[in-house]
A = this chain, B = another copy of it.
Amino acid sequence: MEDFKLTGVLPATFTPMKANGDVDYDKIDEYCEFLSREGIRQIYVNGSTGEGPSLTAEERMRLTECWVKYGKKNGRLSKIIIQVGGTCLKDSITMAKHAETIGADAISTLPPLYFPVATPQDLVEHVRAVAAAAPTIPMYYYHIPFRSGVNINMEQFLLAGRDVIPTLRGIKFSDKDLVQMCACLRTKDARGRNFNIVFGSDEQMLGAMALGADGAIGSTYNWMSGTFRRLLTRLDQGDLQAARLEQTRSQDVVKQVFAFGEKTNGTVSTLKVVMSLVGLDLGPVRGPMRELETKDKEAFFKALTDLGFMEWRKE
C-alpha cells in the first residue's frame, strides 16, 4: 500500500450482461484480454459505468471475484479497484471485506445514497466504517455530486479524514470544480504524501491534467484510451495544440454519446454500443436504462464513423 498511486487513464469497466439481463461473468476473461490489447493495466469496477448500484450485493461480489481472477491471470491487470458504495452501509462493509479477502488492489466508495451526509465529519465517519472493513488496501472516495447528491467540500473531507481513515489514499473526482480538485492535489495525507486525485470527467480531462491531476478514471477509456494517452504525451511535450486536438476528438464522440443517451435514459447503453463497435459485445444494460433502438443504433454508428472515430481511435 506504501506506494500505491493511480496515474494515466483507467477505464471504469462495464458489466457484461446476457440477453436476459443476467450478469455474464464468463465474458470477463475476454474483456481482460481486450483491455490488455488496448494497453490498459488498471481498472475501476462496479462504478457508475459498471452499473454497480443496479446490481445485487451478491452479483457485485461475484463480479469482483471474476475481475480479480481473470485480471490477475498472466498479470494482465496490475490495479483493480472495487467500488462498494450504495444505500446500505452493511452491504458496503461486506463487499469491502470481500474485496480485500479475494485480492482486489483497492476499494472505493460512494457516499451513502439515500440518507445524505451534511458535513465533512459525517462523510468521514461513513468512509471510515467502509475502509475499516478492508484495512490493508487503499480507499478512494468516489466524489460525484451531480449523481450522488452529496457535495461536501473535498479538501475539508481529506483534512478531516486523513488522521481517522488510515487507508484513505485519494479521490475519484467526478466534478467540474477544478479549484477544489487543485486544493485536494495539494493536501497531504497523514504520512506526508500528497493525496492521489484521479479525475472523472473524460471530456474535459485536458483542463484537469494541465492543473495537475494525477490520472483519470472514466468510461470512454474503455475504447478511447489511445486518444487520451496521446493527449497526455502531447501535454507533457508542451504541444498544447496537439493535445487539444485529441480532447476535441473525444468531445465530439462524447457529444454523440450524450445525444443518443437521451433516448435510453442514461449513457451506459450508448457507451456499451461503442464497445460492440470496437469488437467486444457486452450485452444490454439494466433498468432504469434502456437499449438503443436499431435505427438509432445505426444513426449512432454513422455519427461516430463520420467523425473518423474508427480510424483515429487506433492511431
Stretch of A64-72, A88-96, A190-198, A295-303 lying at the B interface: A88-96
Stretch of A1-9, A34-42, A159-167, A206-214 lying at the B interface: A206-214
Residues of the B chain whose Cβ atoms lie less than 8 Å from the Cβ of A244: 210-212
Q: Work out how many copies of this chain go into the complex.
A: 4
Interface code A179-217, partner B: CB below 8 Å = 1, 0 otherwise? 100110010000000000000010110111111100000
Q: How far is the CA of A55 from the CA of B87 in the complex (A)?
A: 8
Q: Is A73 an interface residue (CB 8 A)?
A: no
Interface code A84-128, partner B: CB below 8 Å = 1, 0 otherwise? 001111110000000000000000000111111111001001100
In chain B, what residue has the closest Cβ to A122?
B265
In chain B, what residue has the closest Cβ to A147?
B114
Residues of the B chain whose Cβ atoms lie less than 8 Å from the Cβ of A86: 87, 114
Q: How far is the CA of A298 from the CA of B42 in the complex (A)?
A: 50
B179→A204 contact, CB < 8 A? yes
Interface code A251-278, partner B: CB below 8 Å = 1, 0 otherwise? 1001100000000011010000000000
A288→B117 contact, CB < 8 A? yes
Q: Is A280 an interface residue (CB 8 A)?
A: no
Q: How far is the CA of A238 from the CA of B307 in the complex (A)?
A: 29
Q: Is A56 an interface residue (CB 8 A)?
A: yes
B125→A288 contact, CB < 8 A? yes
B203→A210 contact, CB < 8 A? no
Choice from B56, B114, B240, B248 contacting A90 with Cβ under 8 Å = B56
Q: Is A53 an interface residue (CB 8 A)?
A: yes
Residues of the B chain whose Cβ atoms lie less than 8 Å from the Cβ of A126: 287-288
Q: How far is the CA of A186 from the CA of B117 in the complex (A)?
A: 32
A88→B55 contact, CB < 8 A? yes
Choice from B111, B211, B268 contacting A204 with Cβ under 8 Å = B211
B112→A182 contact, CB < 8 A? no
Residues of the B chain whose Cβ atoms lie less than 8 Å from the Cβ of A212: 240, 244
Q: Is A57 an interface residue (CB 8 A)?
A: yes
Q: Is A27 an interface residue (CB 8 A)?
A: no
User: In the assembled complex, how far is the CB of residue A64 from the closest CB belonging to chain B, in whole angstroms?
Assistant: 16
Assuming the contacts A176-B177, A207-B207, A238-B240, asked whether A182 and B87 have C-beta atoms less than 8 A apart, the reply is: no
- Ranked 4 nearest A-B pairs via Cβ: A238-B238, A207-B207, A210-B210, A53-B114
Given contacts A211-B244, A237-B238, 13 further A-B contacts (CB under 8 A): A51-B115, A53-B114, A89-B286, A90-B286, A115-B268, A117-B288, A125-B287, A176-B176, A204-B207, A207-B208, A210-B210, A210-B235, A212-B244
- Ordered by A's residue number, 21 sampled pairs between the chains whose C-beta atoms are within 8 Å are A51-B115, A53-B87, A53-B114, A54-B88, A54-B112, A54-B115, A87-B87, A111-B288, A113-B114, A115-B288, A117-B288, A178-B178, A183-B251, A186-B248, A206-B210, A210-B210, A210-B211, A210-B243, A211-B247, A212-B240, A212-B244
